Chain A
Amino acid sequence: ETGVTQSPTHLIKTRGQQVTLRCSSQSGHNTVSWYQQALGQGPQFIFQYYREEENGRGNFPPRFSGLQFPNYSSELNVNALELDDSALYLCASSLPETSTEAFFGQGTRLTVV
């Protein structure tokens, strides 16, 4: 186990709704990255938070937004859900000052119907 926990594990939403996914980073890790993994594809970088500030963003529209809290846990919010948003959402935590490794959680499986 990596110590990175995500909730919920599965979620079904209707098109047009909003969703919030949560990630609890490994103890002491100050950096959280979010990825979207469509079925049969590799993870795609959404954005990253470092010490509560967004620190890099991939090619995702503004309806994908996030937060990082003082305890370094993080949320991913997606507004106006579309069918193509159905995917496994992964978060990864890291402590860049001391390690080269990013640790992934088990993911949240989001289905949009």
Chain B
Amino acid sequence: QQQVKQSPQSLIVQKGGISIINCAYENTAFDYFPWYQQFPGKGPALLIAIRPDVSEKKEGRFTISFNKSAKQFSLHIMDSQPGDSATYFCAARPRGSTLGRLYFGRGTQLTVWP
């Protein structure tokens, strides 16, 4: 059972464009929603995270939009660069769970063309 559903599976964007990746969850007991970036041969690295009491969080070119009522959250990458080409995972942590216990989406492979 996939606790966090992520789309699209792959995304191709031109340099300077906006990349948008969407995630949806069903378990309302999640209380922490991070996004991870993974390059080939590397482990996932935390990109940005949000808690459900906030509707939007921005860090540089990366923005998370969170819709609690719809149980959806999305990652927007503004001014996408070739260096952003990687696999992106959304994740969610159950309330009361320890930090390391995360449910991940299946991932989105982003390719940014120069």
Binding site for B on A (CB under 8 A): 2, 4, 31-33, 35, 40-45, 48, 50, 55-56, 90, 92-94, 96, 99-107
Binding site for A on B (CB under 8 A): 4, 6, 32, 36, 41-46, 49, 89, 91, 97-107
Report which of A2, A32, A42, A96 forms a contact with B43, defined as CB distance below 8 A. Answer: A2
Cβ of B15 to closest chain A Cβ, rounded Å: 26
Given contact pairs A33-B101, A50-B98, A106 touches B43 in the complex (Cβ within 8 A): yes
Cβ of B79 to closest chain A Cβ, rounded Å: 25
A56 to B97, Cβ gap below 8 A? Answer: yes
Given contact pairs A44-B104, A94-B99, A105 touches B49 in the complex (Cβ within 8 A): no
Cα distance, A55 to B97, chains bound together (Å) = 10
Cβ of A45 to closest chain B Cβ, rounded Å: 6
Report which of B4, B36, B42, B98 forms a contact with A55, defined as CB distance below 8 A. Answer: B98
B101 to A40, Cβ gap below 8 A? Answer: no
Contacts of A35 in B (CB 8 A): 104
A42 to B107, Cβ gap below 8 A? Answer: yes
B107 to A33, Cβ gap below 8 A? Answer: no
Q: Considering residues A2, A42, A92, which has the most beta carbons from chain B within 10 angstroms of its beta carbon?
A: A42
B100 to A101, Cβ gap below 8 A? Answer: no
Q: Considering residues A4, A45, A94, A105, which has the most beta carbons from chain B within 10 angstroms of its beta carbon?
A: A45
Contacts of B36 in A (CB 8 A): 104
Cα distance, A43 to B32, chains bound together (Å) = 17
Contacts of A94 in B (CB 8 A): 98-100
> Which B-chain residue is minimally distant from A107 (CB atoms)?
B43
Contacts of A32 in B (CB 8 A): 100
Given contact pairs A41-B107, A43-B89, A106 touches B41 in the complex (Cβ within 8 A): yes
